[in-house]
Amino acid sequence: MSGKPHRLAEGGSRIDRNARVSFTFDGRQLSGFAGDTLASSVMASGQRLFGRSFKYHRPRGLVGLGSEEMNALVGVGLAGRHEPNLRATQVEIHDGLAAVSQNRWPSLTFDVGAFNNKLSRFLPGGFYYKTFMWPKSFWKHVYEPAIRKAAGLGRAAEERDPDAYEHMHIHADVVVVGGGIAGLTAAEAAAASGLRVLVIDENAALGGIADLVAGRIGDGCVADIVPALVVRLNAMGNVHILARTTAIGHYHHNYLMAAERVADHDPALLAAGAPRHRLWKIRAGHIILATGALERPIAFANNDRPGIMLASAVRGLLARQAVAPGSTGIVFTNNDDAYLTAFALKSAGIAVRIVDSRQRPDGDLVTRAVTEGFDVSFGSVISKVEGTFAVKAAKIAAYRKGQGRVITEKRVACDFIAMSGGFNPVLHLWCHNGGKIRFDEQLASFRPDTHADAITAIGAANGTMSVAETLREALATGEAAAKSVNARAKASKIKPQSVEEPKRGALEPLWFAPATGGYNEGNKHFIDFQNDVTVADLELAQREGYESVEHTKRYTTLGMATDQGKTSNINGLGVLSEATGKAIPEIGTTTFRPPYTPYSFGAIAGALTGKLFLPVRRTPIFQWHTDRGAVFEPVGQWRRAYTYPALGEDKQAAITREILCVRNKVGLLDASTLGKIEIKGPDAAEFLDRVYTNTFSTLKMGKCRYGLMMNELGFLTDDGVTVRLADDHFLMHTTSGGADRISAWLEEWLQTEWTQYKVFVTPVTEQWAQFAIAGPKAREVLARLEPDFDLSNEAFPHMSFKAGRLGGHPVRVFRISFSGEQSYEVATPANLGQGLWDAIIAAGRDFGIEPYGTEALHVLRAEKGYIVIGDETDGTTTPFDVGLSGLVSKKKADFLGKRSLEQAYLKGPNRKQLVGLLTDDPNDVLPDGAYAVREVKDKPPMEMIGQVTSSYLSPTLGRSIAMALIENGHARMGELISFPLEGGKVVKAKITSTVFYDQDGGRIHA
């Protein structure tokens, strides 16, 4: 007799023995049948070991049947397709599947981390908080890197994922979560109304555990009703069934998210273009939770050894894939259900005995076991398990409730154990959005109580364990759900079928099976297998004062990580209850959080990757820039030309060339991205007076004025030039990144505060192409374009505006400058932009015109000390701080932010103020953001007195320039301050005016 798990010669309702499938597990070539899971096929190959535990690196095998599996976590797929932390029980095998075990190094059977098990005396609950406290510097350099390497579950792929993912948004009248007999029956009852019904099930096959329960419906067994039910549902046009789809979270207003694994099980689907995963975003009228119940493990010494499984999992593997867990086993239970596993094992010819912690159970199944001659030990527990990589033997001891330690025990050789500590209704979705739960003494578990949303739990999820009651509940709830969505919904008229099922005896809670010897003497009673939390850890947490269950959870990590306490939650509470003498309901539960099971980042991102991640905005001249070889930079969603390197020219050389071209000849800038908002109406001027710090009602027609905008806190949020086009009509320019924000801001104030104003705000940024012609030759270039207006300095001075034509081009021309040079910004309707651009380039050829990019623009403006919102300001900067107090009106009674500027904290001393900086060494270019310190010391900390906001090498001046916000900067002109940089270098710089070039501003008016 082999002691290993193996495939039986016959049986297996899910597998097709004619369809062989080959795959690899940890590089080993294995084969199974179509219908196998990774778990069943690896077991069938004789292998028990699936992974190592998180903290102690103990060898671990399969425990569960489905999504509750906490040990057999695997990574599946190669390179960019690799997905970690999948439960082997839910991975369907296919030809070419490549799976690997996790949390072991270098291999499953030899694992360096297992040394932790020997150290376990020093790794109790909360060990993170105790052990790694000192010396302090060790945390960063020794402890953390070591822990990060040793701990953690799977590894994420590092390559780009080649597959497609997608999102679906749907509305459904009734959503049924769980496709077992409860869910399918409820779905049929709801669908009879004609309403839209959606059924979601995490498994490939519908029916839940109908094939594993006792009883008969009509003339057949329980599972027999499933195929016909599915056929009927599929035939109804209003029912949509999603298999392989996990409802991962329930959110406000009956919003449900579900992750569908569309093509994981079949690479041919992927090859045919199917998305790999699909995330469903569902708005439900009414939700029916038929999520079933999960079996509880029992806490006995060394209950984590490979070969110890949940009784339902043993039964499932036998029935579905004909996989036997071993040759000689023990069923260890505190309830009737596990007896079904004993019967199934015996039918498969596997030797089995039963250990039942109850003294005198009286259910039908127990009576049958006794009658059929099973070796049943009542009033007994398994007190200890022998074997490390596999179960070798169990010790059986007599037990009475409350007993602390075992004196005598009997050794029984076996190679597997099927355990059952009872069943927990799956409450995750019920609780995600605040559903209340109550403790049920009969289940020794929590069940749904009340919920504020339109959501109902049925069947095992509701704590209803009988098939007959489940079907009645499902029919009634399905019909009621339809009625609750639509009061005129038709009644289903489906009659419940007759059900026969065994009478069940009562379960007796068993939170802890005592052992000989103390804790940690080879006796680990695991509660949370995934996080390696034992009974001793929980009791220690109690002794150390972590009374609240939420504190215990965080201290011990009970119920955390991918598992979310599916098998450990109630057992943990049971242990805490016994340790504290409080009843479980008094202890309460921890919070269930989405997701129910992990889902992929691909599903979260959906199609919103690469080019679709964020739409790119392009100016009308984008193609020209591209053809000219421009390097682009993102500015908000815009792509702007950063510089235009000639062939063989590096970026810095190109920028220098562009700057000098503007200073000495003439340059052309695509400024189309500049925010443009038209403000029109009889109250437009008054409105602008409210939103700008300076006054616009006094602005003359055809004139431009630079304005500053603050929020109500008194901090700068935007700036730009506004032009008065007509008495009641203004054109506001905003920063490129601020256009949408500022138009929304203006709308908000008009709609919510000054509702009496008659003003329209219209964003027109994209309606216009706008170019800056800047440089001493700008006017001459413009003159070549045949303007129908007077270009002379007298008729068209700086800060004025003309509308007219340049040759064939209708234009608005603003004489404004962000470079300090004679400068005209020319705007034309966007669709005419390229034509005008070409015309300007042609007209400027004789003057040496060249396009310049955003970096040249920034250097040019910095040479003049012009601020950029977001560079020289950081959201806590006032107009006073940047030296623009002259633009803050003293006459206006009110404008946004005015009153806040008078608050004490903005008037206080030591505010950081904007200054210019000239480094001692003109070749030193300070890094952006470099800190100025009060006093340079050998090493940090040093007291910071400000930071660099803009810093450039100025080709015009032939040296570096910078601006900085420095504490009391305006009073420190001429002072030398220090900037310690990385690597120990200290740069000294003199505080100066921010205007580095053409201080008297003559060039701008030339």
Chain residues in the site for other proteins (CB under 8 A)? 251-253, 255, 281, 283, 452, 712-713, 744, 747-748, 751-755, 893-894, 898-900, 903-904
Beta carbon of residue 682, minimum distance to other proteins (angstroms, whole number): 19
Q: How many CB atoms lie within 10 A of CB 61?
A: 26
Say if CB 538 and CB 514 are below 8 A apart. Answer: no
Q: Which residue number, 32 or 285, has a Cβ lying nearer to other proteins?
A: 285
Contacts of 994 (CB under 8 A, 6+ apart): 865, 883, 914, 915, 916, 963
Beta carbon of residue 639, minimum distance to other proteins (angstroms, whole number): 24
Beta carbon of residue 363, minimum distance to other proteins (angstroms, whole number): 42
Q: Which residue number, 515 or 691, has a Cβ lying nearer to other proteins?
A: 691
Q: Which residue number, 109 or 767, has a Cβ lying nearer to other proteins?
A: 767
Beta carbon of residue 593, minimum distance to other proteins (angstroms, whole number): 16
> Alpha-carbon dihedral of residues 906, 908, 911, 916, nearest 10 degrees?
100
Beta carbon of residue 733, minimum distance to other proteins (angstroms, whole number): 22
Phi-psi region of 77 (alpha: psi -120 to 50; beta: other; left: phi over 0): left
User: In 3D, which of 358, 321, 297, 53 has the Cα closest to residue 204?
Assistant: 321
Beta carbon of residue 201, minimum distance to other proteins (angstroms, whole number): 23
**Angle value at C-alpha 601, between 207 and 259, nearest 5 degrees:** 20
Say if CB 678 and CB 769 are below 8 A apart. Answer: no
What whole-number distance in Å separates Cα of residue 439 and Cα of residue 831?
70
Say if CB 914 and CB 949 are below 8 A apart. Answer: yes
Beta carbon of residue 747, minimum distance to other proteins (angstroms, whole number): 7
Q: Which residue number, 748 or 920, has a Cβ lying nearer to other proteins?
A: 748
Q: Give the 3-state secondary structure of residue 310.
A: strand
Beta carbon of residue 751, minimum distance to other proteins (angstroms, whole number): 5
Residue 46 corresponds to which tokens in the numbers above? 């004789």
Amino acid at residue number 443: L
Beta carbon of residue 755, minimum distance to other proteins (angstroms, whole number): 6
Q: Which residue number, 143 or 255, has a Cβ lying nearer to other proteins?
A: 255
Q: Which residue number, 748 or 928, has a Cβ lying nearer to other proteins?
A: 748
Q: Which residue number, 283 or 490, has a Cβ lying nearer to other proteins?
A: 283
Say if CB 163 and CB 89 are below 8 A apart. Answer: no
Peptide bond into 502 cis (omega under 30): no
User: In 3D, which of 584, 576, 291, 292 has the Cα closest to residue 445?
Assistant: 584
> Alpha-carbon dihedral of residues 705, 711, 714, 716, nearest 10 degrees?
-50
Beta carbon of residue 869, minimum distance to other proteins (angstroms, whole number): 21
Residue 437 corresponds to which tokens in the numbers above? 């739960």
Overall size of the chain counted in residues? 1006
Q: Which residue number, 435 or 787, has a Cβ lying nearer to other proteins?
A: 435
Q: How many helical (H) and strand (E) elements, i.e. helices and strands, does the chain have?
A: 28, 52
Say if CB 168 and CB 279 are below 8 A apart. Answer: yes
Edge-first strand listing for the sheet containing 380-386 = 380-386, 393-398, 410-413
Q: Which residue number, 362 or 449, has a Cβ lying nearer to other proteins?
A: 449
Say if CB 50 and CB 72 are below 8 A apart. Answer: yes
DSSP string, 823-878: EEEEEEEGGGHHHHHHHHHHHHGGGT-EE--HHHHHHHHHHTT---TTTT--SS--
What whole-number distance in Å separates Cα of residue 818 and Cα of residue 691?
22
Q: Give the 3-state secondary structure of residue 166.
A: strand
Beta carbon of residue 267, minimum distance to other proteins (angstroms, whole number): 34
Q: Which residue number, 44 or 688, has a Cβ lying nearer to other proteins?
A: 688
Q: Give the 3-state secondary structure of residue 53.
A: coil
Q: Which residue number, 18 or 755, has a Cβ lying nearer to other proteins?
A: 755
Beta carbon of residue 901, minimum distance to other proteins (angstroms, whole number): 10
What whole-number distance in Å separates Cα of residue 815 and Cα of residue 837?
17
Q: Which residue number, 348 or 605, has a Cβ lying nearer to other proteins?
A: 605
What whole-number distance in Å separates Cα of residue 243 and Cα of residue 286?
20
Q: Environment class of residue 222 by beta-carbon count within 10 Å: exposed (0-12), middle (13-18) or buried (19+)?
A: buried
Amino acid at residue number 107: S
Beta carbon of residue 708, minimum distance to other proteins (angstroms, whole number): 17
Q: Which residue number, 115 or 760, has a Cβ lying nearer to other proteins?
A: 760
Beta carbon of residue 432, minimum distance to other proteins (angstroms, whole number): 12
Beta carbon of residue 437, minimum distance to other proteins (angstroms, whole number): 17
Q: Which residue number, 379 or 681, has a Cβ lying nearer to other proteins?
A: 681
Beta carbon of residue 752, minimum distance to other proteins (angstroms, whole number): 5
What whole-number distance in Å separates Cα of residue 255 and Cα of residue 262?
21
Point out which residues pair with 446 in neighbouring strands.
439
Q: Which residue number, 909 or 983, has a Cβ lying nearer to other proteins?
A: 909
Q: Which residue number, 114 or 170, has a Cβ lying nearer to other proteins?
A: 170
Say if CB 802 and CB 792 are below 8 A apart. Answer: no
What whole-number distance in Å separates Cα of residue 702 and Cα of residue 802?
7
Give start and end residues of each alpha helix (H) in 85-221.
115-118, 127-131, 136-138, 144-150, 181-191
Q: Which residue number, 636 or 829, has a Cβ lying nearer to other proteins?
A: 636
Peptide bond into 84 cis (omega under 30): no
Beta carbon of residue 255, minimum distance to other proteins (angstroms, whole number): 4
